[in-house]
Structure 1
Amino acid sequence: MAEHSRRVGVPVFLPSDVVFDAQTHARADELIARYPVGRSALLPLLHLVQSVEGFVSQPGIEFCSAKLGLTDAEVSAVATFYTMYKRTPCGEHLVSVCTNALCAVLGGDAIYSALSRHLGVGHEQTSGDPNSPGSITLEHAECLAACDHAPVLQVDYEFYDHQTPDSALDLTMALQRGERPPPTRGAPLRDFRAAELEIAGIRPDLAEQIDVPTASPQTLRGASLAEQTGQRAPAMPDHVEFPPLPEKK
């Protein structure tokens, strides 16, 4: 068996047989046109690639670099910096369990352990064929900015609040059966690739999807108390003199 050596720290992206079709090229052009400088569209373009492939492959890197006039190295540097860009194929659903401080002490670690045992996988690993219905990729997640609902997890970036190991297992088994239990708040659950298309900024039916509150009473409690007691933030002055910007060197 041939051995392939590489320098430590040099990112490797998997090959892919996905061909980016005319619709994907048109969507990429639409995203690029939204920015005065084309390279600013790199983040949404990487999400667009994931909506097609389910991860970022070497051809996906090359697609972005060709569209934006960047080098593969420049695109790779961004794709390896942010954890939302996956370098191996994701399942139909991505389950992200918050194991940061507050969620962890309230049960997040136990939730992750229960799901890991049930699925037989660890961090950023997939149970089942990534291209098959019911396949699930599991990951630890840093703070999901929902401490008022801890412990929480996300499925394809939609929130499921106040979870327990049992409720998380029920949710995961429902996903494996092909069901899509409604999130606690926000848009209806779809799948990882559909979520990536929306994150990229292509939202053909978003207005029709979101017909439920996206913020909970717990989250709005502070604002409600301030309104009840007549508290207001100081008004911004009409004219503010800002210090001069330092000269570029």
Structure 2
Amino acid sequence: MHSVRAILRQTTKVPSTRRFLHSSPAVKSDALFIHRDTPDNNANLKFEFNKENQQRVQEVLKKYPPQYKKGAIMPLLDLGQRQHGFTSISVMNEVARILEVPPMRVYEVATFYTMFNRNPVGKHFLQLCTTTPCQLGGCGSTKILETLTSELGIQPGETTKDGKFTLVEVECAGACVNAPVMAINDDYYEDLTPETTKKLLDNLKAGKPVTPGPQSGRHTCEYAPGVYTTLNEEPYGPGFKIRDDL
């Protein structure tokens, strides 16, 4: 009987039950998750909030019950970044100390949100949106990127030698109707063209003030001058083109 079973096993084809696992190629970048000590970013460099920001910290903490003060991680990280210039490992550790949470809780937040710059950035932090609406809107963000790299002599992810400008590409900035758009620090600059982009850079280099918002002359996000494809008159009231008996 044993030999018959052996023969059957050899001659009978059994459907394979093996499962093949596939994975995407590993991303060759540790910028989002891994900390590497550098001379200007390591745990031995002490950070503490200045007197003015210490008062702000206390005001922030008043918004949270004592048992939930860990909810203040994001506002305190933002405050630390504004004081220090970027969210260093020392800033994170100080926030963890103040909130009495394990440092890893703070690291998790800082590595998840791209608003926290974990490496030094320039005085003018340029975030150019290069997703589809900005690629298609106006002259296209590709031309804006070409203007920025040409005028500044850097590529995305780099900082100028004088430390004044850092350029990065970002996902949707949420101002698609005013595309192309670029954030400079906390403000949006919209309806960009190569010419207006160069003018912005020239003014920033010279220390002159720049005006946020659309650079085309239109007000906020109303229709552009000479373009009348959007609503520009009083909308119709209820019942328009509806049968009287309905």
Further displaced range: 121-130 or 146-155: 121-130
Q: Secondary structure at the match of 1:180?
A: coil
Q: Is the 8 A contact 1:95 1:156 kept in 2?
A: yes
Q: Is the 8 A contact 1:11 1:80 kept in 2?
A: no
Whether 1:11 and 2:35 are equivalent positions in the alignment is yes
Please report how far the alpha carbon of residue 180 of structure 1 lies from its aligned counterpart in structure 2 after TM superposition. Answer: 2.0
Whether 1:217 and 2:222 are equivalent positions in the alignment is yes
Indicate the residue corresponding to 1:86 in structure 2: 117
Please report how far the alpha carbon of residue 138 of structure 1 lies from its aligned counterpart in structure 2 after TM superposition. Answer: 1.0
User: Normalized against structure 2, the TM-score is what?
Assistant: 0.69
Q: Secondary structure at the match of 2:213?
A: coil
Greater radius of gyration (CA): 2
Q: Is the 8 A contact 2:33 2:111 kept in 1?
A: no
RMSD of aligned residue pairs (Cα, Å): 3.0
Q: Which has the higher contact order (CA 8 A, sep 6+)?
A: 1
Please report how far the alpha carbon of residue 224 of structure 1 lies from its aligned counterpart in structure 2 after TM superposition. Answer: 7.7
Structure 1 residues 118, 99: CA separation in 2 closer, same or farther (over 3 Å shift)? same
User: Normalized against structure 1, the TM-score is what?
Assistant: 0.68
Further displaced range: 14-23 or 98-107: 14-23
Whether 1:175 and 2:204 are equivalent positions in the alignment is yes
Further displaced range: 21-30 or 94-103: 21-30
Superposition map of 1:42-81 within 5 A? 42-81=73-112
Q: Is the 8 A contact 1:91 1:128 kept in 2?
A: no
Further displaced range: 113-122 or 77-86: 113-122
Superposition map of 1:175-194 within 5 A? 175-184=204-213
Please report how far the alpha carbon of residue 110 of structure 1 lies from its aligned counterpart in structure 2 after TM superposition. Answer: 1.7
Indicate the residue corresponding to 1:122 in structure 2: 155
Q: Is the 8 A contact 2:181 2:189 kept in 1?
A: yes
Whole-angstrom CA distance in 2 between matches of 1:86 and 1:158: 17
Q: Is the 8 A contact 1:149 1:162 kept in 2?
A: yes
Indicate the residue corresponding to 1:30 in structure 2: 59
Whole-angstrom CA distance in 2 between matches of 1:76 and 1:126: 24
Name the % identity: 29
Q: Secondary structure at the match of 1:228?
A: coil
Superposition map of 1:96-135 within 5 A? 96-106=127-137, 107-130=140-163, 135=164
The amino acid across from 1:42 in the alignment is: I
Per-residue CA deviations over 1:125-165 (Å, capped at 9, x if unaligned) read 221444xxxx1111112111111111111211312111112
Q: Is the 8 A contact 1:53 1:89 kept in 2?
A: no
Per-residue CA deviations over 1:27-68 (Å, capped at 9, x if unaligned) read 112112112321111111111011111101111011110111
Indicate the residue corresponding to 2:184 in structure 1: 155
Whole-angstrom CA distance in 2 between matches of 1:70 and 1:169: 46
- Residue segments in structure 1 that go unaligned for 5+ positions in a row: 1-5, 186-212, 232-249
Whole-angstrom CA distance in 2 between matches of 1:137 and 1:228: 44
The amino acid across from 1:45 in the alignment is: L
The amino acid across from 1:31 in the alignment is: V
Superposition map of 1:197-236 within 5 A? 215-218=220-223, 228-230=235-237
Structure 1 residues 155, 42: CA separation in 2 closer, same or farther (over 3 Å shift)? same
Q: Secondary structure at the match of 1:80?
A: helix
Indicate the residue corresponding to 1:201 in structure 2: none
Structure 1 residues 12, 53: CA separation in 2 closer, same or farther (over 3 Å shift)? same
- Residue segments in structure 2 that go unaligned for 5+ positions in a row: 1-29, 239-246
Structure 1 residues 66, 18: CA separation in 2 closer, same or farther (over 3 Å shift)? closer
Q: Is the 8 A contact 2:124 2:184 kept in 1?
A: yes
